[in-house]
Amino acid sequence: MFLVGMLLMLCHESVSQESRRYLTIEDIINFKKILEPQISPDGKWIAYTVTENDLKKDQSETRVWMISTEGGDPIPMTAKGYSATQPRWSPDNEYLSFLAVKTAEEKTQVWTLNRLGGEATQVTHIKQGVSGHEWSPDGKRLLLIIRDPKPEELTEDKEDDKKVKPIVVDRLQFKRDYEGYLDRYRTHLYIFTPGDSTAIQITSGDYDDSNPAWSPDGKSIAFVSNRTDNSDGNFNTDIWIVSADNITKGEDLLQLTKNPNQDGSPVWSPDGKHIAYITSNNSKLMWYATNQLAIIPVTGGQSRLLTEKLDRNVSNPKFSEDGRSIYFILEENGTSIIASVDAYEKTVKRIITGNISIIDYSIYGSLISLLLNRDQEPGDIFLHENDQLKRLTNINREILNTVEKVSLEKIQFKSKDRTQVEGFVIKPPGFDPSIKYPAILWIHGGPVDQYEYGLEFNSTITPYFYSGPILYAANGYVSILINPRGSSGYGQEFTEAIFADWGNKDYQDVIAGVDYVIDQGYVDSNRLGVGGWSYGGILTNYIITKTDRFKGAISGASEALYRSNYGHDQYQLSWEMEFGLPWENTQAWESISPFNQMANITTPTLWIGGSDDWNCPILNSEQMYQAMKRLGKETQLVVYPGEHHRIQMPSFNKDMLERFVQWYDKYVK
């Protein structure tokens, strides 16, 4: 009987393995995405959001869930039929608040829900809606982030609200993707007492205020704002402090930091005497500059850098319970981990490490709740306690348990100038090293970003990360993911190497990565494809103008004739700082524009993007498509109407991924 039982178990395992299938586009669309883990004030529960796509309704929906830190089944806290985001625990642990809009005619408001169950209650009735909220430490008040009301939002004439009005522009920075044309209606901070009919405005002026944080005693609020005379003409932001009882609308403020560069993400020490924050000390390098952790007394004075010797980007600081240490996410060498620094001795410790990618976290005492990706696993909630990681959620197991797994391997190699470069290779299910596979070089966006461990399946697909490469692997390709110079995670010198020199050293690095993988013997050098989204599309444009070795290319949301973007995209200031004024420094702009070398392109190329993208406008793809078509080259242009830099509509995501695979199958495989 024992032997028969063992044989039955082995047969069942064999059938189970044989019944596994390859990952499909529908699987990727159906993957759920977790965000915003929030551990409760008593450390017993973690609230978070889950986003799902609905192809029939052609939209996504986000709900708030919670799960016990002891484990068990997750509990849905908000109902189906509307989206809820930004869960926050009331300090007394009794309520969960969140932002939601329940009908198309309404604006986003704050709602609360008793943790034990019941119907959600609408707390705010702000005519223009609410974009953020935080509980005061005593739980009696809410801090709200609200945009200034437009005149039509204050009237009762709903028919007049529907009339199309002219757009009047008078700002230097006058466009932004997803927001549209920028006006003088700014985002400010308000204090609201539940039960009151109105909120009290505590900041004002022709500035935007963000990242607010209550002081431990509930008397003050730290926030981030660029309050320089020409806020559209620089990247400066500072930490400011305002009284929570301010009745002068923020006229009496304390400017805490005076660094002419970017300061943000303020967090108060438990004793309320210091604020830790993220800073950049090189405004000339913009996003190429390394983000560091600093601390400053709340009364002002000299700040201290705590991580200047680390030479890696840090983010999301949080104080330990005793105020001695500050935790943060540390980005390094293809991972994002949790580290801490002693606020006095500046000693750095790596707390949660490994081949992982930590997206977000929250802390209660010695407990750390994590949103974590790792090899073969998309993001889920984990708990770190006593140096051990415990999985709490497994929201995509129904799909993952039925599909064949791909393998993720980290690679290291030398570039043309002997610079050490890293990347990843994703191999097809059932990989056989004796077979010569077709391969896709898929380039990440940014450029200041990095590929990391973990399978990044997003419910709103970001095609320049892992969803595309894993799909390619499931369809028989080797996916090559390189972190070339310009990427973060490898230090300041590595990141700034491409400043005002796009398509040079980063081109050398990705080509060296392809050659390295070919030398391993399992990739067919005659069947290579290339592609990417955002800067991944931009670097693709350089590649296909410099070499004909790739048989098919996909350039998603890219840029090509750079001077044509000045005043058309959202990067006016960035362009100026990196390349100078386009009418004064013409050669710098034109010499690196891929459009000017587009006659060299022989690779069949798919140009693709959103019609309303003001990050990397579709204008660029249209110009490249038009030129290739005029020259009689094999090409196609796909435009998704109403979409911005990231394609949101589930049916468009499905269509896009189908086109990706079809294009490579036709020209590469």
Residue 609 lies in a domain: yes
Q: How many domains does the chain have?
A: 1
Q: Give all strands (DSSP E) within 508-664, no chain letters.
A: 523-533, 552-556, 605-610, 635-640
pLDDT in tens, 288-340: 999 999 999 999 889 999 999 999 999 999 999 999 999 999 999 999 999 99
What average pLDDT score do residues 438-447 get?
95
pLDDT for residue 613 is more than 90: yes
Q: Show the tokens assigned to 208.
A: 């935007």
pLDDT score at 152: 80
What is the C-alpha separation between 127 and 667, in angstroms, rounded?
Answer: 53
Residue type at position 101:
V
pLDDT in tens, 417-434: 999 999 999 999 999 999
pLDDT score at 455: 59
Sign of the alpha-carbon dihedral angle for 604, 610, 616, 617: positive
Check if the beta carbon of residue 276 is closer than 8 Å to that of residue 295.
Answer: yes
pLDDT score at 138: 95
Residue 218 lies in a domain: no
pLDDT for residue 2 is more than 70: no
What is the C-alpha separation between 211 and 276, in angstroms, rounded?
Answer: 13
Residue 546 lies in a domain: yes
Instruction: Give the domain range for residue 453.
Output: 404-667
Asked which of 139-143, 196-200, 638-642 is least confident by mean pLDDT, the reply is: 196-200
Q: State the CATH number of the domain containing residue 632.
A: 3.40.50.1820
User: Burial level of 6, CB count in 10 A (0-12/13-18/19+)?
Assistant: exposed
| High-pLDDT (> 90) share of the chain, % | 83
pTM > 0.95: yes or no? no
Residue 473 lies in a domain: yes
Residue 61 lies in a domain: no
Residue 128 lies in a domain: no
Sole residue written with tokens 């990681």: 389
Using 50, 70 and 90 to split pLDDT, how confident is the model at 5? very low
Using 50, 70 and 90 to split pLDDT, how confident is the model at 534? very high
What is the C-alpha separation between 439 and 451, in angstroms, rounded?
Answer: 17
Alpha-helical runs (H) found in 43-201? 158-161
Residue 224 lies in a domain: no
Residue 356 lies in a domain: no
Mean pLDDT, all residues of the chain = 91
Q: Show the tokens assigned to 237.
A: 């932001």
